[in-house]
Amino acid sequence: MINTTDIEHTPSHILLVFVGHADDAKRQAEWVKEIESLLQKELTRRIEDRMCPFTTVDIYLWESHAPRQFGGQKLIDAAIDRANMAVFVFRDRVGDVTKEEFYRFKQIREEGIPIIAIFPEEPSSSEVYKNLEKSEAWTNLLRFRKELTENWTKPDAKPLTPIENYKDEAHFKNIIVDEFRNSLGLILKISNGTSSIHPPIESDVGNKQFLDHLTNVRAYDDGSVNNFRDGLKDQYKVQYPKQLTNSEFLSLAGFIEQSRLTRTGVLLFTEEPIVFQINNCQAT
């Protein structure tokens, strides 16, 4: 467990997940805490047979970790700076403090720290359509959601990748587990002090920085991934064991981040890379 009064010195083996939310989404924030054991299973499964600095997932909720008598916002800010991942959950409104926390995290995301923002499919009550104040709050939430994901396909932009809107508690929890699983590769790369840990590609593929840009492509060909993994040298087969699913392999190896393939990933693991090349040349 983390020390609530000394967040900055939280042990390095803890993978800290910060949960931000407005007052109306307290229950949704608790849903994240309730699946902590499932996230722990994902981490444990991922780190088997490999060196990893993390052993424990800890969910940070400010109500329990930063009670007002201990300094409140100062501790929350320290948790934001320490966290390895952020989950922002919404119900019917944004909340000014939540928005400030989100943008502070988004600034940190320049280093690649994963952020998940999850929104409801529908307002929680029909009062939204009858009450002017609630209607305005819901409209502001929709604007905020659009703002976060706008232009997400542009490689030089810093938006969030769109994810499903949750329909109910079970759907919410499934989305969080899936997104945590998809983000683990990036979290582990950052913890290792590297932005890319591709297995070596024995070809002259050009500018590496260009090829590491994210695309809007999510689908990949399992056969292509399997062939690539079969051709890895033994030392890399140890680093990327066969127990990993193809999705986990692509994430850990740096070919996919937050469900989006890099340009290298598109060229290696999709059936129509030529289309991508043509579209990219037209865009430039």
Give the model confidence (pLDDT) of 138-180 as tens digits: 999 999 998 887 755 555 555 676 789 999 999 999 999 999 9
The residues that bridge with 57 in the sheet, in sequence order, are: 15
Phi, psi of 113 (to 5 degrees): -60, 125
| Side chain identity, residue 32 | V
Does residue 224 have a pLDDT over 70?
A: yes
Q: How far apart are CA 90 and CA 92, in angstroms?
A: 7
Contacts of 151-159 spanning 24+ positions with Cβ under 8 A: 152/216, 153/215, 153/216, 155/213, 155/214, 155/215, 155/263, 156/213, 158/106, 158/109, 158/110
**Cα 76–142–109 angle (5° rounding)?**
40
Task: Show the DSSP H helices in the chain as ranges.
Answer: 26-34, 36-47, 62-65, 73-82, 96-108, 132-149, 169-191, 208-211, 222-230, 234-239, 246-252, 263-269, 273-283
Are 70 and 3 spatial neighbours (Cβ–Cβ below 8 Å)?
A: no
Does residue 25 have a pLDDT over 90?
A: yes
Residues contacting 35, CB < 8 A, separation 6+ = 173, 176, 177
For the chain, which domains are there? Answer: 7-191 (3.40.50), 208-283 (no CATH)
Residue 272 confidence class, pLDDT cut points 50, 70, 90: low
192, 185, 193: which is closest to 249 by C-alpha?
185
Does residue 262 have a pLDDT over 60?
A: yes
Give mean pLDDT, residues 32-56: 86
Does residue 103 have a pLDDT over 70?
A: yes
pLDDT over 70, % of the chain: 74
| Side chain identity, residue 129 | Y
Q: How far apart are CA 132 and CA 68, in angstroms?
A: 32
Residue 32 token pair: 């994240």
Q: What is the pLDDT of residue 119?
A: 96
Q: What is the pLDDT of residue 209?
A: 58
Q: What is the pLDDT of residue 112?
A: 67
Give mean pLDDT, residues 24-35: 96
Does residue 87 have a pLDDT over 80?
A: yes
Q: Would you list the DSSP string of 239-254?
A: HS-TTS-HHHHHHHTT
Residue 29 confidence class, pLDDT cut points 50, 70, 90: very high
Q: What is the pLDDT of residue 92?
A: 96
Q: What is the pLDDT of residue 252?
A: 78
